[in-house]
Structure 1
Amino acid sequence: MEEPVHEKTRTDDDDNVALVLYGVDDLRMVPWEKPSPKPGEVLLRMQSVGICTSDVHFWTWGRIGDYVVTSPMVMGHEASGCVVAVGDGVKNLQVGDRVAVEPGVPCRHCNYCKQGRYNLCPDVKCCSCPPVHGSLTHYYCHDADFCYKLPNNIPYDHAALLEPLSVAVHACQRGGVCLGSKVLICGAGPIGLVCLLTAKACGAAHVIITDLMEQRLEVAMAMGADQVVKVDTKDTQKLANHIRDTMGDAPDVSIECTGVEASITTAIYATRSGGVVALIGLGAPMATVPIVNAVLREVDIRGVFRYHNCYPVAMEMLSSGSVPADKLDHMITHHYKLADSLEAFETAKTGRGGAIKVIIHCD
């Protein structure tokens, strides 16, 4: 997956281009060497790539936690494409197959990989996570094992969203969402919204979602939320009580998608005794939260890091209609061509025009 920087100085009809991050606030569309698949890889003609909050964060700050941009990096990891060439040894795909790309490729040999929890592999190489190049380009090579052939009823745009949908599948599994669950989701951004769809697909009886923005709460209602709560107070205990009153009960599972300290605190206070708080959002490295409250009420706090073995589940949920395609469309608010990627990133960063999920078309 990882390749040295191969910026080109001239172009022709079969040339490749890529959106490359050179440093903080330094995104450039540049000519890029067209790769060839190695053994076990496929060459993809990229189609749809979604902009993730992490992409914007790397662009704005140059780092997320210990992941620091120190050299030019191609952006993009929520991706779909079409196979145009296969490397030696590839048996599961052939030229012409439409695929969704799972961006993280683990070592396959460590104990975490052997136990099936390959998201915790210390040597995982993940697209657009420094220093690994991503998929916002015309042509891109990826391990065939982590490319999933799409059913005919999943279009490329929806296939790109299988990445955040897989995060939601993993979060609901970690939280134990099941038939009859009462679920609180903190944050109605892209991850919060796919968690809403996934919780419903898992049989949640009641899902309530919070956000600061009225427009996003309206989208959440259109996507099937039972109730919404606008965050309009800094008093986390008061907000937690309001959530419980609105729901008519305490949530069994709370899924926190913002990483904001106050939101984590609210989730802990709101969750029923013996319940689970699943943390997806990444905020400040340190946070002050009511840990004694969680301990005394046996509220489990569980981290959610990417996903493992979730792409097939997410794809089946979407293909079967358990996650309705028309509801997924509510969160895709903007479309751009690859040539207009800088404008696309600015839209995603500022949220202008009510942006929730911005899709870039690479074809």
Structure 2
Amino acid sequence: MKALRFHAAKDLRVEHVDNPDAQPPAGQVLIRNRFVGICGTDLHEYAYGPIFIPVEPHPFTGAHGPQILGHEFGGVVEAVGDGVSDLAAGDRVSVQPLIMPRAGDSYTDRGLFHLSENLALAGLSWPWGGMAEYAMLNDYNVQKIPDEMTDEEAALVEPTAVAVYACDRGGVMAGNSVLVTGAGPIGVLTLLAARAAGAEPLFVSSTNPARLELACSILPEVIPINPHQERPGEVVRARTEGGVGCDVAIECVGDEHALKDCVDAVRKQGIVVETGLHPHENPLDWFQVTFKDIDVRGSWACPTHYWPRVIRLIASGLLPAKKVITKRIGLDRAVVEGFDALLDRSGKKAQLKILIDLAA
């Protein structure tokens, strides 16, 4: 089968690899992949990796490079192994990519599977990923989707779950004012998740004017802010009750200036949620953190039990995740028209979510 594999930084190759076994082992599921999204994590691996891709065999999965990329994907079940009772050949599915021991460490024993010290991910530290024609997965990684959900939307459950979790970490509820820094796919999905929770007003800050324009086309009610032209904190305070700032600020870039803008914009006793991954240490104004009596919370990936909830949110239309899709390409064009296009900041046409169509 054809697969897109990471060999080293700036070295992705579409090549032929052996298919998974036609008959899955006990407890596993073989799926024919349909759509897969290119994630910011994939871009970082391509540009600077290996980061999460193990050089030595992963301690739990044994996986190592070359690695089939892709952890935002879905497909159709081809076959199931012994002991799999809730899936059957022909089922359309979304993939929950987190892989870990099901018991035996202090986090998995408490059901906090996404925090396991032995965590692996399909498409990063598992032999299979979404950027290939087929993938073999554990039964707990495969969730059936309803008829009203499209194959494209199945590939959006993972990034949407990250966005929903970020809002949950911030305690976002109806009537909250929310600032999101970053107008990339996770930032826009976080805005959609906040709106689905009833938040209003919504603010988005980005230094990319084209992405700000895209965010406003998806959510016309959002208040855009370009920090190169105005201070996010001042804009937020001017548009919130009492001029005190927003209830929740969610950082979706991994940028120190964006996080500092969140601390500045949030009201006293507000909540700042850090979702973006920072490449280095970030010195905050800790006097302001203490003086404003605010919470600063991390938001890592998402709990594995979010899949049914997020599928319902998308399938119902309450959270229209498909609005972030800006381009669809075939696997053979994925490097130049996908990875390189997303890393090119000089292009006039901004991209949010590029999906690879494995049937193209």
Pairwise same-fold verdict (TM > 0.5): yes
Structure 2 SS opposite 1:43: strand
> Equivalent residues in 2 for 1:37-48 (5 A)?
37-48=24-35
Contact 1:102 1:311 in 2 (8 A): yes
CA shift in 2, pair 1:68/1:139, >3 Å: closer
Contact 1:100 1:149 in 2 (8 A): yes
Contact 1:337 1:361 in 2 (8 A): yes
- Give, in whole Å, the separation in 2 of the partners of 1:126 and 1:132: 10
- Give, in whole Å, the separation in 2 of the partners of 1:217 and 1:316: 28
Contact 1:83 1:95 in 2 (8 A): yes
Residue deviations 1:236-255, cap 9 Å, x none? xx432233224454110111
Which segment drifts farther, 284-293 or 66-75? Answer: 66-75
- Give, in whole Å, the separation in 2 of the partners of 1:74 and 1:319: 29
> Equivalent residues in 2 for 1:210-249 (5 A)?
210-224=205-219, 225-232=221-228, 238-247=231-240, 249=243
- 2:327 maps to what in 1? 334
Please report how far the alpha carbon of residue 123 of structure 1 lies from its aligned counterpart in structure 2 after TM superposition: 1.1
Please report how far the alpha carbon of residue 130 of structure 1 lies from its aligned counterpart in structure 2 after TM superposition: 4.0
State yes or no: 1:193 paired with 2:188. yes
Contact 1:125 1:132 in 2 (8 A): no
- Give, in whole Å, the separation in 2 of the partners of 1:289 and 1:129: 31
- 1:147 maps to what in 2? 142
Q: Give, as a single letter, the amino acid of the residue that structure 1 aligns with 2:350.
A: G
Please report how far the alpha carbon of residue 132 of structure 1 lies from its aligned counterpart in structure 2 after TM superposition: 5.1
- Give, in whole Å, the separation in 2 of the partners of 1:245 and 1:349: 34
Please report how far the alpha carbon of residue 180 of structure 1 lies from its aligned counterpart in structure 2 after TM superposition: 1.0
Please report how far the alpha carbon of residue 111 of structure 1 lies from its aligned counterpart in structure 2 after TM superposition: 2.4
- 1:304 maps to what in 2? 299
Contact 2:156 2:322 in 1 (8 A): no
Contact 1:69 1:130 in 2 (8 A): no
- 2:351 maps to what in 1? 355
- 2:96 maps to what in 1? 102
- 1:5 maps to what in 2? none
- Give, in whole Å, the separation in 1 of the partners of 2:126 and 2:28: 19
Contact 1:257 1:281 in 2 (8 A): yes
- 1:134 maps to what in 2? 129
- Give, in whole Å, the separation in 1 of the partners of 2:172 and 2:110: 22
Select which of 260, 265, 270 maps to 1:270: 265
> Equivalent residues in 2 for 1:310-321 (5 A)?
310-321=306-317
Number of equivalences: 341
- 1:72 maps to what in 2? 66
Q: Give, as a single letter, the amino acid of the residue that structure 2 aligns with 1:189.
A: G
Residue deviations 1:184-235, cap 9 Å, x none? 10001000000011001111121111111222112212222431111215x9
Structure 2 SS opposite 1:330: helix
Please report how far the alpha carbon of residue 329 of structure 1 lies from its aligned counterpart in structure 2 after TM superposition: 3.5
Contact 1:82 1:97 in 2 (8 A): yes
Please report how far the alpha carbon of residue 332 of structure 1 lies from its aligned counterpart in structure 2 after TM superposition: 0.8
Structure 1 SS opposite 2:136: strand
- Give, in whole Å, the separation in 1 of the partners of 2:126 and 2:47: 17
Q: Give, as a single letter, the amino acid of the residue that structure 1 aligns with 2:256.
A: E
- 1:17 maps to what in 2? 2
Please report how far the alpha carbon of residue 67 of structure 1 lies from its aligned counterpart in structure 2 after TM superposition: 5.5
- 1:116 maps to what in 2? 111
Select which of 259, 274, 280 maps to 1:279: 274
Contact 2:205 2:232 in 1 (8 A): no
Residue deviations 1:289-324, cap 9 Å, x none? 112211222110100110002211111111122113
Q: Give, as a single letter, the amino acid of the residue that structure 2 aligns with 1:54.
A: T
TM-score (norm 1): 0.90
Contact 1:136 1:338 in 2 (8 A): yes
Contact 1:333 1:357 in 2 (8 A): yes
CA shift in 2, pair 1:146/1:68, >3 Å: closer
State yes or no: 1:204 paired with 2:199. yes
Q: CA RMSD in A?
A: 1.7
Contact 1:183 1:251 in 2 (8 A): yes
- Give, in whole Å, the separation in 2 of the partners of 1:247 and 1:274: 15
TM-score (norm 2): 0.90
CA shift in 2, pair 1:131/1:48, >3 Å: closer
- 1:93 maps to what in 2? 87
> Equivalent residues in 2 for 1:283-294 (5 A)?
283-294=278-289
Structure 1 SS opposite 2:246: coil
